A and B are shown apart, each in its own frame.
Chain A
């Protein structure tokens, strides 16, 4: 390891590589419940060339490499399960190009959501990107690579759907461009070439290191508003979502239920965020959304919550700062969630099962679902808070998460950014030929098995 340390210090500079106990401790875990797994080294590259040389060195030494963005995945995907190198990508955070006409941004893999948001606000105020609910330090590459979603995902789908192209360093050190950038100076689309981006999306960093990516940008509306539609009956939610999404007027639709404060308990709130370029257009959109659920309002079984401006502000905040506060519900700095990708019609089942699990496990919880696409699916979240200083509380949350993951798979959903136990659940149910294909692909791309080993592996 000492020889590798010296090689890495030569590549990135001695100040950007550490084998010290402090870095090994902090990089051994994320804020979720997964147990720590310490790396031997933490390395911070500053260019694709440095990543390429690091991968070559790691291959020579047969040392595992785990890429890391902001470390906010919460499900422990960036832990060094077999030791080796954590590759902290955040020094590679340059915004390389904004193409205003073709509406895309080309960024390095360590660029954060917040940095891009600020850059667009200042230099291209007519454009925006889809921001996840994660804090603004979260990296764009990290979120795209796990099939994240964000505040315009109802209108435009998963963040991986918004990907135009990638630059990737393969486990063996070759630098590959994927999408239009493979044959053109423009990063405008993944079509019409064979779409190899899938080799690096949803694999939890087991197939290569993303070093650059281009994502689609969208018009940034001058006027934005939010409505909150409330009902008590989870059975109604799929139809409510179906009606609202059918209008295609909103950009984001998220249903949620939280037992605290007491007045909110049992009520299913549906946040509908929409934007427009004029006030008239905004009102027109609002009216169309309202008309889609008029039947429920007339029957007095659901309705829009009156919202003064001050109450709207947190719902319009991108990313929503207030969401992070869930981590302090138990005065313990922790929460983790199962984000289950599933069909919208499963909402009532998913909801009831979530309540059962949370109340049985006696964990603090919040439940809800973000619609992806025009009701094409949803990311149903089961968020459980825990007190990091209380081992029993952490275990309770862990058990609730594991049970939820099992329930989701049994229901017909798929846990997103799945923890190790959830990966096992998914693999248990996955078409064996897909499992075999995944294994073959990894063997081809990563002959020495050094990329984030331990993840997506069959026992």
Chain B
């Protein structure tokens, strides 16, 4: 297994379980299950034991390995320099080992099968990828400045589609020139890679790169931070070199000159840092800049923010597989409780996956009417001055 030489070096000191300010546990699977086995250190030692034939590869061990949601909290807070950078790659390598051995939990297998067969994590026909655009006019990519890459959640999830439409409206209202791939778009491959299916990732990424290159794409705006991360950081090693932006990075500067309504009641908003914007790419400013451009919004911070942000629990494919469940201590439920405790009325997100996870958690926690999960552009659009 790749990285197996580092597994024994984990001391299991537990910094990886916490945010930098120590307020609570911050590792989604550990927070959800509470057994040490689900902590990053526990996972490292179990992997070592499995490779040393001290334990068997059981269904539970598979679940433990695949419960990592790739949030990157462990890498951010491990105290061992250099070693810390290899934590997530090691966990992904372990998943890859299990994928190659054909020993993965059924929910993972099914998700990977859908990605393989349909090019998206929902198993939907590629022809339906454009359905989210119904009712709004968007051009196919041609000679515009940017390609808008919507991703699976924006294309197929009902809530994701609302968000995609909202972002498109906001981009258009601010004069951004962009086009779509339509049915030619397939999964960005990020979740396939995060679930250890490296060949499937390569297949999806290469196919997208071929499409991008054939159309002369140079600049890409992504709806999803997951897509932003993988196209920006992983596609170059497969020959796909583009200028990649998350939509918040495009909108933040232009919104500073936008005219907003000033007659609406004030709203207290807290922003949930997406892992793939924040910890993975150190992009913390654009979303906050978008929100601060809007009059009448009071931005309050949760205890866990920036590098200390608690993940929504949706990464590593969990938004599709639900492998860490929906129990009381799951990350999404803990996160909406934390948002409520901040005094916010609105929990702002920059990621469709976070939106889906957190909106579900609001329902389960019975917070409807007290806390609303809204995506950034939805908040912005609701306060545009009518022209």
CA of A22 to CA of B43 in the docked complex: distance in angstroms?
10
Instruction: Check: A230 CB closer than 8 A to any chain B CB.
Output: no
Most A CB contacts (10 A, CB to CB) among B13, B36, B49, B80 go to B13
* A18-B23 contact given A70-B14, A327-B11, A328-B9, CB 8 Å threshold: no
Instruction: Check: A137 CB closer than 8 A to any chain B CB.
Output: yes
The residue from B22, B45, B79 contacting A26, defined by CB atoms under 8 A apart: B45
For A119, the chain B residues whose CB sits under 8 A away are 23
Q: Mark contacts of B61-82 with chain A using CB atoms, 8 A cut-off: 1 yes-contact digit, 0 otherwise.
A: 1001000000000000001100
For B35, the chain A residues whose CB sits under 8 A away are 18, 22-23, 26, 42, 44, 88
Instruction: Check: B366 CB closer than 8 A to any chain A CB.
Output: no
Question: Are A137 and B79 within 8 A (Cβ)?
Answer: no
Instruction: Check: A156 CB closer than 8 A to any chain B CB.
Output: no
Question: Are A321 and B79 within 8 A (Cβ)?
Answer: yes
* A26-B46 contact given A18-B35, A72-B13, A115-B22, CB 8 Å threshold: yes
Chain B contact residue count (CB 8 A cutoff) = 36
Give the nearest-CB partner of A42 in chain B: B35
The A111-165 residues at the B interface (CB cut-off 8 A) are: 112, 114-115, 117-119, 121-122, 135-137
CA of A23 to CA of B55 in the docked complex: distance in angstroms?
11
For B46, the chain A residues whose CB sits under 8 A away are 22, 25-26
Question: Are A25 and B54 within 8 A (Cβ)?
Answer: yes
Question: Are A322 and B60 within 8 A (Cβ)?
Answer: no
Q: Give the shortest distance, in Å, between B76 (CB) and chain A (any CB).
A: 13
CA of A332 to CA of B5 in the docked complex: distance in angstroms?
10
CA of A388 to CA of B54 in the docked complex: distance in angstroms?
15
Q: Give the shortest distance, in Å, between A70 (CB) and chain B (any CB).
A: 6
The A19-38 residues at the B interface (CB cut-off 8 A) are: 20-23, 25-27, 31
CA of A26 to CA of B36 in the docked complex: distance in angstroms?
7
CA of A42 to CA of B38 in the docked complex: distance in angstroms?
14
The residue from B11, B36, B327 contacting A324, defined by CB atoms under 8 A apart: B11
For B24, the chain A residues whose CB sits under 8 A away are 115
Q: Give the shortest distance, in Å, between A116 (CB) and chain B (any CB).
A: 9
Most A CB contacts (10 A, CB to CB) among B15, B35, B37, B303 go to B35
For A335, the chain B residues whose CB sits under 8 A away are 11
The A84-98 residues at the B interface (CB cut-off 8 A) are: 88, 90-91
Q: Give the shortest distance, in Å, between A144 (CB) and chain B (any CB).
A: 18
Interface class of chain B by DSSP: loop
Interface residues on A, range: 35 or more
CA of A333 to CA of B12 in the docked complex: distance in angstroms?
8
* A31-B58 contact given A122-B303, A322-B79, A324-B79, CB 8 Å threshold: no
Instruction: Check: B242 CB closer than 8 A to any chain A CB.
Output: no
CA of A22 to CA of B50 in the docked complex: distance in angstroms?
10
Q: Mark contacts of A346-367 with chain B using CB atoms, 8 A cut-off: 1 yes-contact digit, 0 otherwise.
A: 0000000000000000000000
Give the nearest-CB partner of A323 in chain B: B79
For A325, the chain B residues whose CB sits under 8 A away are 79-80
For A18, the chain B residues whose CB sits under 8 A away are 35
Q: Give the shortest distance, in Å, between B9 (CB) and chain A (any CB).
A: 4
Question: Are B9 and A333 within 8 A (Cβ)?
Answer: yes
Question: Are A16 and B34 within 8 A (Cβ)?
Answer: yes
Instruction: Check: A262 CB closer than 8 A to any chain B CB.
Output: no
Q: Mark contacts of B24-37 with chain A using CB atoms, 8 A cut-off: 1 yes-contact digit, 0 otherwise.
A: 10000000011111
For B11, the chain A residues whose CB sits under 8 A away are 31, 324, 327-328, 333-335
Question: Are A332 and B22 within 8 A (Cβ)?
Answer: no
Most B CB contacts (10 A, CB to CB) among A72, A91, A324 go to A324
Question: Are A137 and B18 within 8 A (Cβ)?
Answer: yes
Instruction: Check: A62 CB closer than 8 A to any chain B CB.
Output: no
The residue from A115, A122, A333 contacting B8, defined by CB atoms under 8 A apart: A333
Give the nearest-CB partner of B46 in chain A: A22
Most B CB contacts (10 A, CB to CB) among A22, A91, A114 go to A22
CA of A91 to CA of B58 in the docked complex: distance in angstroms?
26
The 8 A-B pairs of least Cβ separation, nearest first, read A114-B22, A137-B14, A327-B11, A389-B8, A333-B9, A118-B23, A135-B13, A388-B8
11 contacts between A and B (CB under 8 A): A22-B61, A25-B46, A31-B12, A70-B14, A88-B35, A88-B36, A114-B23, A121-B21, A136-B18, A333-B10, A388-B8
Q: Which residues of A contact B (CB under 8 A)?
A: 15-16, 18, 20-23, 25-27, 31, 42, 44, 70-72, 88, 90-91, 112, 114-115, 117-119, 121-122, 135-137, 321-322, 324-325, 327-328, 331-335, 387-389
